[in-house]
């Protein structure tokens, strides 16, 4: 392998690394721009410190991203219920709750650390939980329902996605051009001509594009932490210049939206599947807060024109069965009482 080829390989590795995000296991990554978005989950089998890897869109035309998060902290009478991953929720008794924020980590007790999206998210959750401590359960539930309603605000999320698309448009277009310049034009010319003066000119052209990108970024990045240093890195490193728009998308938002708020972005069909999945989990997952979660979701779904009676409709009955699992719709013969696959959900008669 020649020096040029090795260098290209290093660039590819650095670029992929630049597209990697470590997100809370329960989060949904929204990728897209304008009105076309899709969502995907982080890669759950790999988890480091409560975070799982997720890849942004790698190839041009480059897209921007947003992160949505389901409710992870729900107040129950006996304590704070934590929904941090696919496992059944954990309960932390109110007497054991001692909150502390360290960077993006939220400590709920000296031993229990939760990795939040960013520091301001950790602080916001800390305030929410602190406020619940002296309240009665009824007050906590009212406060949770208010918080849940705020996270389900589809208009706010759509407006945020629209603003982010507009704000990052130029950066993404120029980023795509720098991508093509580096990985297509420069790489093919190098293969064709080897080390020559023309290659140096093409490399100089790429550097010129990076400088223009730096200027775009610096103007757009008001309020981004370490703006000057980030701009400097965009000027020097091609992979950062390609992904400069992500630095704006990574900027902390006040309250992360719930994945179901993204209906206008992900489209009706995908949203309905997601709504069914969230409803079934909220309603039937063995949890002390199933009722509270259902109330939070019921009002929202009704407003969206998807009544829960539709989501709870029984499956078509198979011959010889008399009961079914309301969560996964598996059917059983008379005598069965629980669905073991769903963690002991009580079965319903047809
Ligand atoms: Zn089941």
Write out the chain's pLDDT in tens, 350 residues. 777 778 888 989 999 999 999 999 999 999 999 989 999 999 999 999 889 999 999 999 999 999 999 999 999 999 999 999 888 899 999 999 999 999 999 999 999 999 999 999 999 999 999 999 999 999 999 999 999 999 999 999 999 999 999 999 999 999 999 999 999 998 888 888 877 888 889 889 999 999 999 999 999 998 888 999 999 999 999 999 999 999 999 988 778 999 999 999 999 999 999 999 999 999 988 899 999 999 999 989 999 999 888 888 889 999 989 999 998 889 999 888 999 888 888 899 98
Between the CA of 172 and the centroid of ligand 1 the distance, in Å, is: 44
Return the number of other C-beta atoms located less than 10 Å from residue 185's C-beta.
14
Task: Tell whether pTM > 0.75.
Answer: yes
Between the CA of 68 and the centroid of ligand 1 the distance, in Å, is: 27
Between the CA of 266 and the centroid of ligand 1 the distance, in Å, is: 27
Taking the C-alpha atoms of residue 249 and residue 228, their distance in angstroms, rounded to an integer, is 17
Between the CA of 316 and the centroid of ligand 1 the distance, in Å, is: 15
Between the CA of 44 and the centroid of ligand 1 the distance, in Å, is: 21
Domain boundaries in the chain? 3-68+155-249, 73-148, 314-350
Between the CA of 279 and the centroid of ligand 1 the distance, in Å, is: 14
| Under 8 Å between Cβ of 67 and 117 | yes
Taking the C-alpha atoms of residue 251 and residue 225, their distance in angstroms, rounded to an integer, is 8
| Under 8 Å between Cβ of 128 and 73 | yes
Q: In what order do the strands lie in the sheet with 79-82?
A: 73-75, 79-82, 90-93
């Amino acid at each position: 392998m020649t020096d040029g080829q090795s260098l290209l390989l290093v660039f590819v590795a650095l670029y992929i690394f630049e597209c990697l995000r470590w997100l809370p296991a329960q989060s949904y990554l929204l990728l897209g721009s304008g009105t076309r978005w899709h969502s995907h989950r982080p890669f759950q089998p790999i988890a480091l410190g409560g975070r799982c890897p997720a890849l942004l869109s790698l190839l041009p035309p480059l897209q921007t991203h947003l992160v949505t998060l389901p409710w992870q902290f729900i107040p129950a009478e006996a304590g704070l219920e934590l929904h941090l991953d696919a496992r059944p929720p954990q309960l932390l008794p109110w007497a054991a709750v001692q909150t502390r924020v360290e960077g993006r980590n939220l400590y709920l007790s000296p031993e229990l650390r939760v990795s939040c999206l960013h520091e301001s998210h950790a602080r916001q959750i800390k305030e929410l939980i602190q406020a619940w401590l002296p309240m009665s359960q009824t007050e906590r539930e009212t406060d949770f329902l208010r918080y849940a309603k705020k996270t389900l605000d589809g208009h706010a999320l759509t407006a945020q996605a629209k603003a982010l698309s507009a704000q990052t448009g130029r950066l993404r277009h120029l980023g795509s051009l720098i991508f093509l310049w580096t990985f297509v034009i420069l790489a093919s010319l190098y293969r064709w001509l080897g080390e020559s003066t023309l290659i140096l000119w093409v490399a100089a052209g790429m550097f010129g594009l990076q400088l223009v990108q730096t200027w775009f970024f610096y103007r757009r990045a008001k309020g981004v932490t370490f703006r000057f240093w980030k701009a400097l890195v965009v000027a020097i490193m091609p992979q950062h210049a390609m992904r400069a728009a992500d630095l704006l998308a990574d900027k902390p938002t006040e309250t992360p939206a719930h994945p179901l708020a993204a209906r206008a972005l992900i489209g009706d069909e995908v949203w309905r599947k997601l709504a069914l999945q969230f409803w079934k989990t909220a309603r039937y997952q063995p949890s002390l807060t199933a009722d509270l979660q259902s109330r939070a979701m019921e009002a929202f779904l009704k407003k969206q024109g998807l009544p829960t009676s539709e989501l709870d409709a029984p499956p078509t009955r198979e011959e010889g069965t008399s009961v079914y699992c309301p969560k996964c719709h598996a059917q059983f013969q008379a005598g069965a009482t629980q669905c073991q696959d769903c963690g002991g959900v009580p079965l319903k008669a047809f």
